[in-house]
Chain A
């Protein structure tokens, strides 16, 4: 059976687990009675979880309340997070399909990469177990703060001025001695303490001077900040809060912006500028980076359009121009919380091809045609009774299958055509297969041919689309956290108890949660002014005074 209460000699009933009586401060446990200096952490209050341990809920609660468990969770999370930095995470790997990703890790990092990928470490931060780990850390922070913060708050707000002698004598700093007139001395102390900006309370022949109590709340405030931070990060999974997409857009194209429904982007031009070499070779930036060519500017001249209100996906009638902007590195196009960043590019994709229809023998030209590869026409009229018809077009020719040209991809990496050429001299038409460095005449010898004249290319720009509505929450969390740290670090809770004892002596005790040197300086002033006996540091840690600091709530 667990005990429910402890009754102190003063008659006050304390909850089980209390170390120092809530009312008078007498030590209640054998352990406390035998120590020279009392444990003032949480002001001797019972940590709530230590009090009850009956139901499953209580057991779970107590598990998370434990500081040991909390520290273990922090260490495990740190170790796990660091494993995720061994190799690049998946979102930094620029490949398309899942199979490509697996292959990428194996090819780039060998067996280690294969194992890393197979274990799911390549997407560690999105894994269920990592999130549960961070979640458990969150629970630990909240539960431990409630368990310690609430009793501490109660104890600090219900402090009595008069404490039992045994409590005072067990403080680290104690002074005891005769004074001529205790009432006068108490009044002098009160005056001095007030001058030092202490709050002073009196209760008969007892006095309590206290300063910077709020600093005890520092750790709890920074825990609140951490929780706000965690909540902010978690909100990324809520639809509409966080967008991180990327897309490749060719010059001249207008396509819908990934992750930004209803918005369209037109790429007018992609510009890549290099630092130029001087006559005597590389200079400036080239020399500094040890290379011959250094990029100076990546730029996409873009137009952002929006569909009219209520328009359906796919409907591109009446697009409204929202913004015209030159997207450069670190100068994203920003609209409605979205930012479009310059990230990537592809140069020189074939765009148009120009051919000359000529007679093979005489080299007489019947005229030229230019095929726009992303929008070829069915027939090209060259005038004077000559024309060219495209019977088949494969943008990325990959051989024949059953006599039909096949294509690998929809992009014009290796365009091939089957042309039908008609001239006044060959009114029935001649068929020719034309690919790069390859011409076939499947239906017999032709009189005419299409001679390649020139080609133009265009560039593609790679953009990423970013939106993060959680940033303000994360910033607020960070600010709260820092305020908590500052409060807990730069201010100390100092208390001085003084009372006249029954034997006509004056007893003084002092406590601070940090910086004993600081409170001793205050005491020196007070003792000097009030003609008190000198104090004793019961731990007498003159040269190792930092030892005890930093871990009290």
Chain B
């Protein structure tokens, strides 16, 4: 090959490799907190948690149904506000193949039970006693809502309070066809 051409190709390859390496480092650092655990499109991390009645809920058992995961705590005011909305929408979508799993972060059975009784919640409420599921979903702020499609993929991640309308639309979006 022509010496000049060879030189150009070598230089281009070396520079391109270096630029790619730097771009990767910068990109990874910039998106570290957001992507290290969970992103829309990922397979939702499977988990197994126990509800107040002592029943075990495994996410993968709900395959074929849309799952509305809601991380919450009794002290969290926005969580408290959206719970009745979720309950209303649940009544409507439960028969259409959408399940709600409300995941409490490591509170006592007593407090969670009181809360459930107070608002008459119909959907299963599980307690993440060891915070392992919270870590797996990289939940930092509450409330946090994760939508899981019937195929088990994450389709939406929302941190913060939702309106009843939003909750309805979100459940509609994960309704099995």
Q: Interface of A with B (CB < 8 Å)?
A: 52, 55, 57-58, 60-61, 97, 126, 128, 131-132, 135-136, 138-139, 142-143, 146, 234, 237-239, 254-256, 258, 261, 264, 311-316, 374-378, 390, 392-393, 395-396, 407-410
B75 & A255 in contact (Cβ 8 Å cutoff): no
Chain B residues within 8 Å of A97, by CB: 141
Chain A residues within 8 Å of B47, by CB: 312-315
User: A-facing mask of B54-87, CB < 8 A → 1, else 0?
Assistant: 0000100000000000000111000000000000
B26 touches A (CB below 8 Å): yes
Q: Decide yes or no: A61 and B75 within 8 Å by CB, A131-B25, A312-B58 being known contacts.
A: no
A126 & B75 in contact (Cβ 8 Å cutoff): no
B88 touches A (CB below 8 Å): no
Q: Which of A256, A264, A311, A396 has the most CB of B within 10 A?
A: A256
User: A-facing mask of B114-134, CB < 8 A → 1, else 0?
Assistant: 100000000000101111110
CB closest residue in chain A, given B32: A237
Chain A residues within 8 Å of B7, by CB: 52
Chain B residues within 8 Å of A128, by CB: 26, 29-30
Apart from A261-B135, A410-B105, 15 more pairs, CB < 8 Å: A55-B8, A57-B11, A128-B30, A131-B29, A135-B18, A136-B22, A237-B28, A256-B131, A264-B132, A312-B58, A313-B48, A313-B133, A313-B136, A375-B108, A395-B111
Tier of interface size on chain B:
35 or more
Can you give 13 contacting A-B residue pairs, CB < 8 Å? A57-B15, A60-B15, A128-B30, A135-B21, A256-B135, A258-B135, A311-B48, A313-B133, A315-B49, A316-B130, A375-B110, A393-B110, A395-B111
B92 touches A (CB below 8 Å): no
A57 & B8 in contact (Cβ 8 Å cutoff): yes
Minimum distance in angstroms from A147 CB to a CB of chain B: 10
Q: Report the Cα distance A513→B169, complex, angstroms.
A: 76
Minimum distance in angstroms from B36 CB to a CB of chain A: 6
Chain B residues within 8 Å of A390, by CB: 110
Q: Report the Cα distance A256→B45, complex, angstroms.
A: 16
Q: Report the Cα distance A237→B30, complex, angstroms.
A: 10
Q: Decide yes or no: A131 and B11 within 8 Å by CB, A261-B132, A261-B135 being known contacts.
A: no
Chain B residues within 8 Å of A312, by CB: 46-48, 58
Chain B residues within 8 Å of A234, by CB: 21, 25
Q: Report the Cα distance A139→B14, complex, angstroms.
A: 9
CB closest residue in chain B, given A128: B26
Chain B residues within 8 Å of A132, by CB: 22, 26
B4 touches A (CB below 8 Å): yes
B74 & A316 in contact (Cβ 8 Å cutoff): no
Identify B45's interface contact among A58, A313, A374, CB under 8 A.
A313
Minimum distance in angstroms from B66 CB to a CB of chain A: 20
Minimum distance in angstroms from A38 CB to a CB of chain B: 27
User: A-facing mask of B90-106, CB < 8 A → 1, else 0?
Assistant: 00000000000000011
B163 touches A (CB below 8 Å): no
Q: Interface of B with A (CB < 8 Å)?
A: 4, 7-8, 11-12, 14-15, 18-19, 21-22, 24-26, 28-30, 32, 36, 45-49, 58, 73-75, 105-111, 113-114, 126, 128-133, 135-136, 141
B131 & A135 in contact (Cβ 8 Å cutoff): no
CB closest residue in chain B, given A146: B14
Chain A residues within 8 Å of B29, by CB: 126, 128, 131, 237
Q: Report the Cα distance A357→B105, complex, angstroms.
A: 33
For the complex of A and B, list the 9 residue pairs with the smallest distance between their C-beta atoms, beginning with the closest: A135-B22, A237-B28, A256-B132, A315-B48, A313-B136, A312-B48, A314-B49, A314-B47, A313-B132
Identify A393's interface contact among B12, B21, B105, B114, CB under 8 A.
B114
Chain B residues within 8 Å of A315, by CB: 47-49
Q: Report the Cα distance A136→B18, complex, angstroms.
A: 9
Q: Decide yes or no: A407 and B11 within 8 Å by CB, A138-B22, A313-B132, A315-B48 being known contacts.
A: no
Q: Which of A55, A58, A143, A410 has the most CB of B within 10 A?
A: A410
Q: Report the Cα distance A314→B45, complex, angstroms.
A: 11
Q: Report the Cα distance A376→B7, complex, angstroms.
A: 76
CB closest residue in chain B, given A373: B108
Chain B residues within 8 Å of A238, by CB: 28
A314 & B132 in contact (Cβ 8 Å cutoff): yes
Q: Report the Cα distance A312→B130, complex, angstroms.
A: 12
CB closest residue in chain A, given B58: A312
B14 & A378 in contact (Cβ 8 Å cutoff): no
A314 & B114 in contact (Cβ 8 Å cutoff): no
CB closest residue in chain A, given B22: A135
Q: Decide yes or no: A410 and B74 within 8 Å by CB, A57-B15, A138-B18, A377-B110 being known contacts.
A: yes
Q: Report the Cα distance A378→B19, complex, angstroms.
A: 63
Q: Decide yes or no: A396 and B8 within 8 Å by CB, A131-B25, A146-B14 being known contacts.
A: no
Q: Decide yes or no: A393 and B4 within 8 Å by CB, A139-B15, A234-B25, A256-B131 being known contacts.
A: no
Identify A410's interface contact among B8, B18, B75, CB under 8 A.
B75
A131 & B22 in contact (Cβ 8 Å cutoff): yes
Q: Decide yes or no: A316 and B136 within 8 Å by CB, A138-B22, A393-B114 being known contacts.
A: no
A61 & B11 in contact (Cβ 8 Å cutoff): yes
Q: Which of A52, A60, A312, A377 has the most CB of B within 10 A?
A: A312
Minimum distance in angstroms from B47 CB to a CB of chain A: 4
Chain A residues within 8 Å of B58, by CB: 312
Minimum distance in angstroms from A51 CB to a CB of chain B: 9
Q: Report the Cα distance A455→B105, complex, angstroms.
A: 25
Q: Report the Cα distance A526→B15, complex, angstroms.
A: 49
Q: Decide yes or no: A375 and B109 within 8 Å by CB, A57-B11, A135-B18, A234-B21 being known contacts.
A: yes
Identify B108's interface contact among A138, A316, A374, A392, CB under 8 A.
A374
Q: Report the Cα distance A407→B132, complex, angstroms.
A: 25
Q: Report the Cα distance A377→B109, complex, angstroms.
A: 9
